[in-house]
Amino acid sequence: MANPKDPQQDKKTENLAPHTADNADQLLTTNQGLRINDNQHSLKAGERGPSLLEDFILREKITHFDHERIPERVVHARGSGAHGYFQVYEPMGKYTKAGFLNDPSRKTPVFVRFSTVAGSRGSTDLARDARGFAVKFYTDEGNYDLVGNNIPVFFIQDAMKFPDFVHAVKPEPHHEMPQAASAHDTFWDFISLMPESMHMIMWVMSDRAIPRSYRMMEGFGVHTFRFINEAGQSHFVKFHWKPLLGVHAVAWDEALKISGKDPDFHRRDLWNAIESGAFPEYELGVQIVPEEDEHKFPFDLLDPTKIIPEEVVPVQRIGRMVLNRNPDNFFAETEQVAFHPGHLVPGIDFSNDPLLQGRLFSYLDTQLSRLGSPNFHEIPINRPVAPLHNNQRDGHMRQTINRGGTSYEPNTLGGGCPFQAKMADGGFTSHQERVEGHKVRARSRSFFDHFSQAALFYHSQSAPEKTHIVNALRFELGKVTVTDIRIRMLGLLNQVDTSLAAQVAAGLGLEVPATPEQPVNHSIPADGDPEQFQPFTVAQQVTASAALSMAHTVKNTIKSRQIAFLLANGVAAEEVDKMKTALERQGAVVQLVAPHLGAITTDTDKVLEADQSFLTTGSVLFDAVYIPGGAAGTAQLQTHPDALHFIREACRHCKAIAVTGAGATVLEAAFIPPADDPGIITDGHPEAFIAAIAQHRCWDRESQRSIPA
C-alpha cells in the first residue's frame, strides 16, 4: 500500500526504472540497510555532553548530505525535463535507415530537457536567452540525442570561440553580476567585435527569447546533419520541432515581472500541463537537401549562423513527439541526464560544420567533470534500452558486474565475444565523405556574409515584433556602461537595417556612426589580412519569410491557457458558471482571483472558493482576464487597487479581457475606455472571448492605446 501522504509516490507503480525507490510502508535504514531506531538525536556522552566520533549513523548521513551537489552545467544549467514518446508518420527509408524513423507503429521513448543558457541552476525561467531543446531518443539501435535550441542559428561559427562567448555572456568575473542576463558590458563588448553573431542577435532580441511556455516554442537542430539510407546515399538535413500549440511569447515588461512573481514559470507550466493531461506535442520536421545541391545556396550549409528559408526548402513534418510523464526525481533524471550530439544511430551522421565538430568533443568531456565518471551511461536516465556489450571496464561507481574472463577483442578465450556488428546487423559506419585539404586554421570565405540573413529575419517580422526588437536593443545597450560599445553596436546594426539602427540610436541618445568608420571584423587571427576578413553580402533567395514571424503561427486553440476570473463577494454566480463552462470545454484553465482566499459569496446561494488572492498571484501569470457582473462584487473591485492594477497590466500586455454585466464598470474604473479593440470583449460573448484568447495577444494595442500598467 502506498503512503497516502505522498501523492507523488502514490502515482505510478508501473514501468519504473530498475533503480527506482520509494519509501512507502518501509522502515528507515542506513545506506548499508541497518534499521535506524532514532533519527532525531546524535550519539552523545550524556544528554548534555559532546557528540561521539563513533556515531557512524550521523557521519554517514552528514557525509552524504555534504556531497549532494554536483557541478551545475557550465551552460544550460537551468532546465526542466519530461518523458514521452516519438512516433514517425511514414517510413523515411528513402532518406535514412534509422529504425525509429522507419516504423510508424513504434513509439520510441524520449526524455526532453528544456533549458535557458546563461543563468545558474536557480535562475529565473524568463531571462532573455536562447532555450535549449534537447531530446534523447531511446531507440532500439542505441540512444540518439538531438541537442538543439529554440533558435535555428548560433552566435559563432567556430567552436574555438565558444569559451570566449560564454565567458562574455556569463556574469562578469569580478563581481558576478548580472545573473541570467545578457544586458551588460562584457556580452556586448564581445558581440560588437563579432559581426558573425548579428543573425543570432536578431533572434535573441526578438520575442523568441522570452517564450510564453516551453510548450509553445520551436526547436531546431541548428547544424546541418546528414541522413544516410540503406544504399549509403547521403542527404543533408536540418531538424525542426514544431509545437502544435503554436509559437508564442510574453511581453518584455511581463517577463521581468514574472521573474519576480514566479521564477519557475516555465517549469511549473510544463509540470502542470503534463499533470493535468494537456500533454505537450511537437511535430518533427526535416528540410532535406540532396548532396548535389550543397552549393546551390547563397550561404554555406555548414555555417551555423544561417537558416535555409522554409520557402526555399519546405519543412516536411515526419513524426510527432508527445510529452506525457513528469520525472519522478529532478536530480536523478533532469539533472543527471547527459546529452551529446555524438550519441548517434545508423542512418544519421554529421556534417563538417565547425561548431558541430567542436561540440562532438565537448559533450563527452563535460559529462566526465559533471557526473564524475566515465560510467555516466549507467545512470538510469542515460541507459540505452538497446543492449550494451563491450570491453570497457571499471572506473568510479561502476554498476555493471561484467562476468567472464576476457575483456579484450579480438579473443579466443571468450569465444570471440562480443563480436563486431556487420552493417546488416546495424553496425554503425561513418559516411565515407571524401575529404582532403591543407592543415589550416581558417574559415571558408563562404561563411562571411554576416548581415543578409540578419536582415532577412528583421524584414520578416510584423510591425509589433520589429518594435520589440528595437526596444530589446534599447534596453540591453542601455545597460551597457561604455559608450564606445554602444556605438560599435549601432555600426553593426546599421549594416542589418538602417531604420533599425536609427531607432535604437534614438533610444540611446546617440548618432548612428558612418559605417566606414566601423572596425572591420575583430575576429581575425593576429597575422590575418583584414581585407580577407571583410564581410560581404549576397542576395538571399527570399527577402522575407513568413515562417520567421510569430504573427503567422497557430492561433486556433486556447488549450491549457490560464484565465483569471476577478471577483469579490456578491459576484453573479450564473455569469461565472457560464463563462467557466465555455472556457473549460475548450481546454482552458480557470482560476478565481479575489481580494482574499477562501469562500466567496455570490448573488445566489452558491458559494465559490477563491483559487488565488491578489497577493498570491498577478496578471502576468495569466493569459486573459474575465470580470463577471454582480453589483456588490463589482463595486468592491472598482475601488480595489490591486484589482485595477491587475486589469490595467493585463491590458498593457495586450491580453484578452472580457466583461459581462456590471463587470464593465470595473473596466471603466480602471480607465480602460471602450475602443475598437478586438481583444476587449464587452458583450461577454464566450465565443468572442475564446477567439481573442486564441490570438494569444492583441499586439497592435501597444501602438494604438496608451494604457499605463
Instruction: Give catalytic residue positions.
Output: 76, 149
Decide: is 120 part of the binding site for ligand HDE (CB under 6 A). no
Decide: is 135 part of the binding site for ligand HDE (CB under 6 A). no
Query: What is the 8-class DSSP label of residue 512?
Result: P
Q: Which stretch binds ligand HDE (CB under 6 A): 8-16, 68-76, 460-468, 487-495?
A: 68-76
Decide: is 75 part of the binding site for ligand HDE (CB under 6 A). yes
Which residue in the set 101, 147, 579, 610 belongs to the binding site for ligand HDE (CB under 6 A)?
Answer: 147
> Least distance to ligand HDE from the beta carbon of 110, Å?
13
Decide: is 447 part of the binding site for ligand HDE (CB under 6 A). no
Decide: is 327 part of the binding site for ligand HDE (CB under 6 A). no
- How many whole angstroms separate alpha carbon 567 and alpha carbon 591? 10
Query: What is the 8-class DSSP label of residue 52?
Result: P
Contact 677, 657 (CB under 8 A): no
Decide: is 112 part of the binding site for ligand HDE (CB under 6 A). no
Contact 615, 253 (CB under 8 A): no
- How many whole angstroms separate alpha carbon 635 and alpha carbon 315? 54
Decide: is 154 part of the binding site for ligand HDE (CB under 6 A). yes
> Least distance to ligand HDE from the beta carbon of 453, Å?
16
Residue position matching grid coordinates 544504399: 231
Decide: is 83 part of the binding site for ligand HDE (CB under 6 A). no
Binding mask 190-229 for ligand HDE (x = CB under 6 A): --------------------------------x-------
What letter represents residue 272's amino acid?
Answer: N
Contact 624, 561 (CB under 8 A): yes
**CB closer to ligand HDE out of 154 and 458:** 154
Q: In the range 222-241, which residues lie near ligand HDE by CB under 6 A?
A: 222
Q: Which stretch binds ligand HDE (CB under 6 A): 85-93, 229-237, 324-332, 353-361?
A: 353-361
- How many whole angstroms separate alpha carbon 451 and alpha carbon 536? 8
CA 122 to chain centre: 15
Which residue in the set 42, 229, 362, 601 belongs to the binding site for ligand HDE (CB under 6 A)?
Answer: 362
> Least distance to ligand HDE from the beta carbon of 248, Å?
21
- How many whole angstroms separate alpha carbon 536 and alpha carbon 322? 43
- How many whole angstroms separate alpha carbon 182 and alpha carbon 699? 25
**CB closer to ligand HDE out of 73 and 486:** 73
Question: Which residue is at the shortest CB distance from ligand HDE?
Answer: 132
Q: In the range 285-304, which residues lie near ligand HDE by CB under 6 A?
A: 304
Q: Which stretch binds ligand HDE (CB under 6 A): 357-365, 457-465, 531-539, 620-628?
A: 357-365
Nearest partner of 566 among 552, 576, 581, 578, judged by Cα: 576
Decide: is 89 part of the binding site for ligand HDE (CB under 6 A). no
Which residue in the set 113, 128, 226, 653 belongs to the binding site for ligand HDE (CB under 6 A)?
Answer: 113
> Least distance to ligand HDE from the beta carbon of 203, Å?
12
Decide: is 149 part of the binding site for ligand HDE (CB under 6 A). yes
Decide: is 463 part of the binding site for ligand HDE (CB under 6 A). no
- How many whole angstroms separate alpha carbon 469 and alpha carbon 548? 14
- How many whole angstroms separate alpha carbon 604 and alpha carbon 26? 50
- Set of cell numbers at residue 563: 484565465
Q: How far is CA 66 from CA 33, 60, 89, 428, 630, in A?
A: 20, 10, 49, 42, 57
**CB closer to ligand HDE out of 337 and 573:** 337
Decide: is 307 part of the binding site for ligand HDE (CB under 6 A). no
Judge residue 45's burial from the number of C-beta atoms within 10 Å of its C-beta, 0-12 exposed, 13-18 middle, 19 or more buried. Answer: exposed
**CB closer to ligand HDE out of 303 and 449:** 303
- How many whole angstroms separate alpha carbon 365 and alpha carbon 359? 10
Judge residue 641's burial from the number of C-beta atoms within 10 Å of its C-beta, 0-12 exposed, 13-18 middle, 19 or more buried. Answer: exposed
Judge residue 67's burial from the number of C-beta atoms within 10 Å of its C-beta, 0-12 exposed, 13-18 middle, 19 or more buried. Answer: exposed
Binding residues for ligand HDE, rule: CB under 6 A, are 73-76, 79, 113, 115, 132, 134, 147-149, 154, 159, 162, 222, 304, 337, 339, 355, 358-359, 362-363, 366
